[in-house]
A and B are shown apart, each in its own frame.
Chain A
Amino acid sequence: MSDANNAEWHRVAKTSEVTDDEPKAVQVGAEYIALFKVDGTFYATDDVCTHEFASLSEGFVEGDVIECPLHAGQFHIPTGKALSPPVEEDLRTFPVKVEGDDIYVQVPKG
C-alpha cells in the first residue's frame, strides 16, 4: 500500500497489544515508534525521547500525556508536543489507521 505523499502504511500491531496504560514499541525500517491508546483512539509518535535515550513506550501514561521513564519529561500524545522540562523538542507523530484488529502506521519513505 502506498500513498500520494510518498508515505507507506505499515501493519505494526494488533489492537489488543496496546492498552491505555501500556503503550507498545514497534519498529518500521529505521524508525522506532510508540503506539498509544487514549480513550479508544490509537496514536503513534517517536518512541525515543527527544531529551536523552529512553523508550517512551516504557513510560507512564496519564490521560493524553506520556511521561518519559528516565527524566519524567512529558509529551502530549496526540500532537507530540513537549510539555514540561527537561524536554524541549516535540516528538514526531505518525498517522494511524485501524482495519479490523490491525493497527497501521504511515511512515514517510526514508
Chain B
Amino acid sequence: MTADSGFVVIGAGQAGGRAVEAMRKAGFAGRIVLVGEEPHVPYERPPLSKQLLSGDDGPETTYLRDRGFYREQDIDLRLGARASAIDPSARRVLLADGDELAYDKLLITTGSRVRRLAISGAELPGVFYLRDIEDALAIRARLAEGAALAVVGGGYIGLEVAAAARSRGCRVTVLEMEPVVMNRVVAPEVGRFFADVHAAQGAEVRTGTTVSGFAGDRRVDEVVCSDGTRLTVDLVVIGIGIMPNTALAEAAGLAVDDGIVVDEFGRTSDPEIFAAGDVARHYNPLLGRQIRLESWQNAQNQAIAVARVMCGSNVAYAEVPWFWSDQYDLNLQMTGVADRWDQIVYRGDMEDRRFTAFYLLDGVLVAANSVNLPRDVRYARKLIESGARVDRDALADPAVPLKTLLEA
C-alpha cells in the first residue's frame, strides 16, 4: 500500500457513513476518503418523510455523527464534491473539481435518486420530490394549515408525506395509479386498511388514478388527471420510486443490472471495487437470489458487512430484509419479500389496529407485515430465516406465542 492511497468511498449517505466507521472499527489505520455530493455529513433518510416533515426538528437530528467524529477518526470528508469518473486500471477516482484520489480498495455507495414524472408542468415551482434534507425542509415550509396538497404516488413515502401533512392541518389528496396503495410492498387487504386509515384521518385517497399533467401560470395550481378531473392545489409532492445511481460504475465497465452487481461480500466484477446500499444488486444467501433493496437496514448493515470484508473479514451479508413505515399512530413493519405468496394468514384483528399478516408460499413463511406489533415481525424474521414450514393455525392464534413456532 502506498502512503497516499487507502480506501475511497464514493457516496456519503447512510451506507457510506456507516462503512467508514466500520473500517476504522475493524482496525484499518490507512487513509479513508469519503466523497459526497450533498453538503451534509452522512445522515439517515427515513425521518425526512416522518419526524422532519411533521415536527420542527433541525436537519442535524438525522446525522449519523457530527463533524468532529470524522476528524477524530481521521476520515477525510469531501462534502459537496462529485466523483466524475473511476479509472479501475489506474485505481483512481476523478473528482469534478479536478482532484484525483488513488485507492487500494474502492467502495461505491452512491445510493439512488428519485424517479421523475415526465409529464407537462412537472417542472413548475410548487412540484416537489422528496429525497434529501433540502427537499424535506422546502416541503415542510409549505405545509401550512389549510394548504391543499396533492401527493402523487401511494407508496409509503407518499403516504407518510400525506400523514405528516394532515398533522399540520393541510388538505390532502393522494393519487395512486394502482387499484390499491402500497401495492409493491403489502397485500391488497393491508393496502386497503391503510387507505381507510387515511380516509378516516381526513385525507382523500384516489386509487386507479393517473396524473396526466400539472397546470399553473407561475407555479402549480392544478393537477390534471387522465380521466379529465382537475384538482386545485397549493403544492404537489411526487413519490413514485427511486432509481440506483449506477452511471459511474457503468462508465467504469463494472457489471450493472438495475444496480451494481455484487456477491454476498459486496464484491463487484472488479476485485478492488465493492458496492453496498441502495445501489447494490447483491446476492442474498438466505433468499437464494440476487436482490436490490432500498432500505435503512440494508444501507446500514450491508455497508458495515462490506466494509469489514474490505478489512479482511470473510463474513457475508445475510439478513432477511426488513423495513418500517410510520403513518399517524401506526407503525407498519415489513419483513421478507412479499412479491409471491399463495396464502395470507392474519393474526389479530384489523379493527383493533394491531395485527400481523403472514405471507406463505407452499406452507413456508416468506414475508410478514405487522401493524403496531413490531415483535411479531421480529419473530417472523427468525421464522423466514429458518425456512421451516409453519403451522397456520398456530400463526393465526394470538394465544400461541410465536416463539414456540421457532422451537417447533
Asked, given contacts A59-B374, A85-B18, whether A70 binds B403 with beta carbons under 8 Å apart, the answer is no
Residues of the B chain whose Cβ atoms lie less than 8 Å from the Cβ of A86: 44, 64, 300
Residues of the A chain whose Cβ atoms lie less than 8 Å from the Cβ of B322: 72
Contact with A along B295-312 (1 / 0, CB 8 A): 011001000100000000
Max chain A Cβ within 10 angstroms of own Cβ: one of B324, B331, B374, B379: B374
Q: Is A60 an interface residue (CB 8 A)?
A: yes
Is the Cβ of B18 less than 8 Å from the Cβ of A70? no
Is the Cβ of B378 less than 8 Å from the Cβ of A85? no
Is the Cβ of A60 less than 8 Å from the Cβ of B378? yes
Asked, given contacts A70-B324, A72-B297, A85-B18, whether A21 binds B403 with beta carbons under 8 Å apart, the answer is yes
Residues of the B chain whose Cβ atoms lie less than 8 Å from the Cβ of A58: 374-375
- Smallest CB–CB gap between B236 and chain A, Å? 29
Within 8 A of A (CB), among B1-49: 18, 21, 44
Taking chain B's interface residues, is the majority helix, strand, or loop, or is none over half, making it mixed? helix
Residues of the A chain whose Cβ atoms lie less than 8 Å from the Cβ of B21: 85
- Smallest CB–CB gap between B140 and chain A, Å? 19
Bin the interface of chain B by size.
10 to 19
Is the Cβ of B304 less than 8 Å from the Cβ of A85? yes
Contact with A along B56-75 (1 / 0, CB 8 A): 00000000100000000000
Q: Is A69 an interface residue (CB 8 A)?
A: yes
Asked, given contacts A21-B403, A70-B324, whether A85 binds B375 with beta carbons under 8 Å apart, the answer is no
Is the Cβ of B374 less than 8 Å from the Cβ of A21? no
Max chain A Cβ within 10 angstroms of own Cβ: one of B297, B304, B333, B378: B378
- Smallest CB–CB gap between B375 and chain A, Å? 6
Contact for A69 among B44, B374, B403, CB less than 8 A: B374
Within 8 A of A (CB), among B314-331: 322, 324, 331
Is the Cβ of B374 less than 8 Å from the Cβ of A85? no
Q: Is B387 an interface residue (CB 8 A)?
A: no
**What are 12 A-to-B residue pairs whose CB atoms are below 8 Å?**
A21-B401, A21-B403, A58-B375, A59-B374, A60-B378, A69-B331, A70-B331, A72-B297, A85-B18, A85-B300, A86-B44, A86-B64
Q: Chain B interface (Cβ within 8 Å of chain A)? A: 18, 21, 44, 64, 296-297, 300, 304, 322, 324, 331, 333, 374-375, 378-379, 401, 403
Q: Chain A interface (Cβ within 8 Å of chain B)? A: 21, 58-60, 67, 69-72, 85-86
